C-alpha cells in the first residue's frame, strides 16, 4: 500500500489547492489489434496481413514502407473502411467497425476519411472545381456552398488559378493536388494516401509533400504509403511492413509536434 501524506486542513476556498484532474489520454484515431487478412481459402489462400497491431494518435503523420506485396495496401484499405479484417479488431475514433453495416461504414468513410491514390482518379472532361465538388454533392450540400468549399480547398493546395482547367490540361503534380483538394473538401480528420507521389517527378513530389506537411500542421492525421525515403522523411513516424507483419516502427518526432520538414513560422520576438 502506498503511503499518502495527510491532506491539509481545508482553508478558505480561495486558498484551496486545485485538485488534480484525471487526464484522459485522447482516443487514438486508428487502432488495429491483431488484424489478420486472408484472401481466398485453402491451397489458394493469400495471407496478406498476419497479425498487425497499430495505434495512430490524432495529429500523427505516419509513413508506411515495405516491398511490393508486403501488405501495405491491404492495411490501408482496412484503415480506410474499404475492406474488413478476417480476424482481429479495427477501431476508428473508438468505434468498433465490426459492429457497423455497409451503410454505416460508408458513412464513416465519407465523414472521417479523405483518400488520395497513386493514379489521381480524377474525372476527365470535368473541371478541377467540379471534381473537388463531387464528394460534397454526395453529402447533399447546396450548389453555392459546394462551390465556396471547393474553391477554398483548391486555394489551399495552391491551385486558385487553375480551378476551371480539366485534368488533361494540368500537370501530374497539379492533378494530384486536385485529388488532395477533393480528399480535403469534406473536412475529414484522417487523410490516407497510397503512394501519392508514385507518378510524380521529384519537384512535384516535394510540392505535394509540402501540402501534406501543412495539412498535418493544421491538425489532420495523415497515413501514407511510400517507397521513397525522401517522401517518408516528411512523416513523424516511419513504419515498415514485411510479409504481412509490422517489422519496425520508428518515431521521429512527437505526434503533436510540428512536421519535421515543414519550415516553422518565425517565432515572435
Ligand atoms: P502492397 O500494397 O504492399 O504491395 P498488398 O496489400 O496489395 O501489398 O498485397 C498483399 C498480398 O495480398 C499480395 O500477395 C497480393 O497479391 C495479395 N492481395 C491483395 N489484394 C488481393 C485480393 N483482392 N485478392 C487476392 N489477393 C490479394
Ligand atoms: Mg500497394
Q: Domains in the chain, ordered, with CATH?
A: 58-84+101-251 (3.40.50.300)
Mean pLDDT of the chain: 90
Supply the residue whose CA is at minimum distance from atom 14 of ligand 1: 69
226, 34 in Cβ contact below 8 A?
no
pLDDT confidence band for 126 (50 / 70 / 90): very high
pLDDT confidence band for 57 (50 / 70 / 90): very high
**Locus of grid cell 485529388:** 179
Supply the residue whose CA is at minimum distance from atom 23 of ligand 1: 39
Q: Is the pLDDT of residue 14 over 90?
A: no
Supply the residue whose CA is at minimum distance from atom 15 of ligand 1: 69
> Distance, CA 38 to ligand 1 centroid (Å)?
9
Ligand 1 environment, Cβ below 6 A: 39-40, 46, 48, 66, 68-74
Tens-place pLDDT, residues 132-145 = 999 998 777 899 99
Mutation pick for ligand 1 pocket among 32, 36, 38, 39 (CB with most ligand atoms within 8 Å): 39
> Distance, CA 49 to ligand 1 centroid (Å)?
9
Q: According to the model, what pLDDT value does residue 18 have? A: 54
- The fraction of the chain above a pLDDT of 70, given in percent, is 88
> Distance, CA 70 to ligand 2 centroid (Å)?
8
Tens-place pLDDT, residues 92-120 = 999 999 999 999 999 999 889 999 999 99
* 19/8 Cα distance (integer angstroms): 13
Is the full-model pTM beyond 0.75?
Answer: yes
> Distance, CA 177 to ligand 2 centroid (Å)?
20
* 135/106 Cα distance (integer angstroms): 12
* 259/215 Cα distance (integer angstroms): 10
User: Which position has the higher pLDDT, 12 or 163?
Assistant: 163
51, 36 in Cβ contact below 8 A?
yes
- What the block records as the C-alpha cell of 31 is 487502432
Amino acid at each position: 500500500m502506498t503511503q499518502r501524506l495527510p491532506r491539509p486542513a481545508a482553508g478558505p476556498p480561495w486558498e484551496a489547492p486545485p485538485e488534480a484532474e484525471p487526464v484522459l489520454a485522447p482516443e487514438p484515431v486508428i487502432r488495429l489489434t491483431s488484424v489478420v487478412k486472408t484472401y481466398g481459402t485453402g491451397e489458394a489462400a493469400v495471407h496478406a496481413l498476419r497479425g498487425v497491431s497499430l495505434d495512430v494518435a490524432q495529429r500523427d503523420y505516419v509513413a508506411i514502407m515495405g516491398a511490393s506485396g508486403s501488405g501495405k495496401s491491404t492495411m490501408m484499405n482496412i484503415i480506410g473502411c474499404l475492406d474488413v479484417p478476417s480476424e482481429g479488431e479495427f477501431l476508428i475514433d473508438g468505434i468498433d467497425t465490426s459492429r457497423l453495416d455497409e451503410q454505416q461504414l460508408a458513412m464513416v468513410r465519407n465523414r472521417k476519411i479523405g483518400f488520395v491514390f497513386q493514379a489521381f482518379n480524377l474525372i476527365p472532361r470535368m473541371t478541377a472545381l467540379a471534381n473537388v465538388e463531387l464528394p460534397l454533392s454526395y453529402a447533399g450540400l447546396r450548389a453555392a456552398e459546394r462551390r465556396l468549399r471547393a474553391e477554398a480547398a483548391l486555394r489551399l493546395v495552391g491551385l486558385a488559378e487553375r480551378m476551371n482547367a480539366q485534368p488533361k490540361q494540368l500537370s501530374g503534380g497539379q492533378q494530384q493536388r486536385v485529388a488532395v483538394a477533393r480528399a480535403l473538401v469534406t473536412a475529414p480528420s484522417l487523410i490516407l494516401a497510397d503512394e501519392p507521389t508514385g507518378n510524380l517527378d521529384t519537384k512535384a513530389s516535394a510540392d505535394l509533400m509540402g501540402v501534406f506537411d501543412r495539412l498535418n500542421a493544421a491538425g489532420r492525421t495523415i497515413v501514407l504509403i511510400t517507397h521513397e525515403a525522401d517522401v517518408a522523411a516528411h512523416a513523424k513516424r516511419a513504419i515498415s511492413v514485411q510479409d504481412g507483419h509490422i517489422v519496425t516502427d520508428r518515431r521521429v518526432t512527437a505526434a503533436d509536434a510540428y512536421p519535421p520538414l515543414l519550415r516553422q513560422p518565425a517565432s515572435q520576438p
